[in-house]
Structure 1
Amino acid sequence: MQLPERDGDGYLTNMNLWTPEIGRAMAEADGVELTDEKWNQIMKAREYYEEFGSVPPIRKFSKYLEVDQKEMFKLWLTGPMKPITKYGGLPKPTGCV
């Protein structure tokens, strides 16, 4: 699959081009395995963005998911909001992620 243009951090330069297939292909190209749990978090982040018009900080998002922040960090092995937003076709998170 030909991926749309991405910036230096791997985010889509045009988030309107995102599809679930593109999100999965981006993760695969980056060597990231998207489990069902990770994919659910990505889709919930998109839902949050559509509802509130912004990318949530990790604290707010973990409450939204009703998941412990520490569990999210264990799952993603990194700050979770960066890969969640990247593979979800959302804007880069701001602030502490």
Structure 2
Amino acid sequence: MAEKTLAGKTVEVTGEGYLVNKEDWSKEIAAELAKEDGIDLTEKHYEVLDYLRKEQAAGTTLTIRKVGKSGITDIKGLYQLFPGGPLKLSSKYAGIPKPASCV
């Protein structure tokens, strides 16, 4: 595990940049993680992140299809919000572990 300073707070991250402790998450940390990947988070992004955090806390298995059926955005919209790996990136910014379905 590595340490990284995000939004003025030192946090532990995995080799792929996921937060080790989901309690360290904040909107500011999410924004800095996204900026590292060239993404500026909008309210729609945060709606997806909040949904993922709630579903993960409830023990739900996360999939792109499930997010697409959430009513927040469709699958095409999810790919536009998080290009290059929508579930992988959105989970990273949500401060939750990388889903098992992501390579």
TM bucket by the smaller chain? Answer: 0.7 to 0.9
Q: How many residues align?
A: 96
Compute the displacement of 1:57 (Å). 0.8
Task: State yes or no: 1:57 paired with 2:63.
Answer: yes
Compute the displacement of 1:12 (Å). 0.8
Going by fraction, where is helix more abundant, 1 or 2?
A: 1
The CA RMSD over aligned residues, in Å, is 2.1
For 2:38, the equivalent position in structure 1 comes to: 31
1:4 pairs with one of 7, 11, 15: 11
Going by fraction, where is strand more abundant, 1 or 2?
A: 2
Secondary structure of the corresponding residue to residue 4 of structure 1: strand
Between the aligned residues of both structures, percent identity stands at 35
2:94 pairs with one of 74, 88, 93: 88
**Larger CA deviation: 63-72 vs 75-84:** 63-72
The Cα offsets for residues 52-80 of structure 1, whole Å up to 9 and x where unpaired, read as 31441111121123532122112222221
Compute the displacement of 1:42 (Å). 0.8
Compute the TM-score of the two structures, normalised by the length of structure 1. Answer: 0.80
Compute the TM-score of the two structures, normalised by the length of structure 2. Answer: 0.76
Q: Structure 1: which 5+ residue stretches go unaligned?
A: none
Quote the Cα distance in structure 1 between the aligned partners of 2:61 and 2:10: 23
CA separation of 1:55 and 1:86: change in aligned 2, threshold 3 A? farther
Task: State yes or no: 1:45 paired with 2:52.
Answer: yes
Task: State yes or no: 1:76 paired with 2:88.
Answer: no
